[in-house]
Amino acid sequence: MHIILTGATGTIGSAVLTHLLASPNVSRLSILTRTIFDLPTSDSNGNSFDLEKAKVIEHKDYLSYPDELLKGKLAGAEACIWAQGISQSEVGEDRAVRCGVQGVRLMQGAGREYVHITHDFPLAAARAFATLPLPGGRFNFVYVSGEGADQTEKSMLLFGRIKGRAERALLALPASGLSLTSLRIYNVRPGYVYPAASHRSRRFLLKIADAVIAPIMMQLAPGRMSPTGELAKVLADLAIGDGEPLPAGTGVEDEGRLLRNVGIRRLGKEAEGEAR
């Protein structure tokens, strides 16, 4: 299967990348990125990846997908894992609050940037990818959202409102036009993303949280945690799967199109048990 991946240099995306490189179910992997980077050559156990199936594609404008890209490098793709994103604190409202009138302007600008990245980019991509010639007649679009997303947009947090808006808009796409009926949307809400040691290229405070707080939370509140290895497998399984709604169960909402963190953990444990 040919899969498109975004956000491959992030905490979640890098875990998904290594999982897809190792997966025998993935025959081609197209990685969209603003900046070209070197692919990992092996996993943490020293097992080599088949890099021949992967292509890193420099893509600067995530609102535009020209025909030469869709009909060329992305031709034949049947799924996308949209792991691209940015923390609210990196663009967000907080850094402008104390700056008076100028702060309001900065806050508005930061909010627009967050909306572009979190909402506008995945919507534009889903619309574009739905036009690809699809051997199976469907395109699975897996959107990495987050616990706290609020589709009613009543959350006090910019993150919750915009992630929720994106979820709702993506779910509405398949019914909004004939050219979009091939889309099969999954919104996935991880909790606290806990990376494996090999993926911990995070900011200083997050590294402290990973080392001190996360292990305690894994014991006391495992349902709130999202280990990246487990999360990557669940995301990949959704992308590779048949596009049908998830069966009813703990953590599954929106008629099988929304997977909460407790559901991620449940599916991860079930897959682990099957592999034994």
- Which pLDDT score is estimated for 273? 72
Residue 255 has what DSSP assignment?
A: G
Cα dihedral 83/53/43/238 (nearest 10): 40
CB 241 within 8 A of CB 25: no
- Which pLDDT score is estimated for 27? 97
- Reported in sequence order, the residue ranges of 21-144 that DSSP labels E, i.e. its strands, are 28-33, 54-58, 79-82, 139-144
CB 259 within 8 A of CB 252: yes
Nearest one of 240, 272, 238, 232 to 256, comparing CA atoms: 238
Read off the pLDDT band of 101 (50, 70, 90).
Answer: very low
Most confident region among 43-47, 48-52, 269-273 by mean pLDDT: 48-52
Angle CA(128)–CA(109)–CA(142) in degrees, nearest 5? 30
Mean predicted confidence (pLDDT) in 152-157? 94
- Which pLDDT score is estimated for 22? 96
- Which pLDDT score is estimated for 106? 40
pLDDT top residue among 123 and 97: 123
In tens, the pLDDT along 3-40 reads: 999 999 999 999 999 999 999 999 999 999 999 999 99
- Which pLDDT score is estimated for 215? 59
Element containing residue 187 per DSSP (H, E): strand 183-188
Checking if the pLDDT of 2 tops 50, the result is: yes
Query: What percent of the chain lies above the pLDDT cut of 90?
Result: 68
Residues in the chain, total: 276
Considering the chain, what is the average pLDDT of its residues? 86
Checking if the pLDDT of 123 tops 90, the result is: yes
The two three-digit tokens of residue 24, written as one number:
């025998």
Most confident region among 83-92, 104-113, 193-202 by mean pLDDT: 83-92
The whole-model pTM stands at: 0.87
Q: How far apart are CA 4 and CA 29, in angstroms?
A: 6
Read off the pLDDT band of 208 (50, 70, 90).
Answer: low
Coil, strand, or helix at residue 141?
Answer: strand
- Which pLDDT score is estimated for 103? 40
> Which range is least confidently modeled, 84-88, 176-180, 199-203, 258-262?
199-203
Mean predicted confidence (pLDDT) in 258-270? 94
C-beta neighbour count of 262 within 10 angstroms:
18
Angle CA(161)–CA(31)–CA(274) in degrees, nearest 5? 80
In tens, the pLDDT along 70-83 reads: 999 999 999 999 99
Mean predicted confidence (pLDDT) in 194-215? 56
Tokens 């806990």 belong to 194
- Which pLDDT score is estimated for 217? 55
Q: How far apart are CA 180 and CA 137, in angstroms?
A: 11
pLDDT top residue among 107 and 228: 228
- CA 156 vs. chain centroid, Å, equals 23
Q: How far apart are CA 231 and CA 80, in angstroms?
A: 15
Query: What percent of the chain lies above the pLDDT cut of 70?
Result: 81
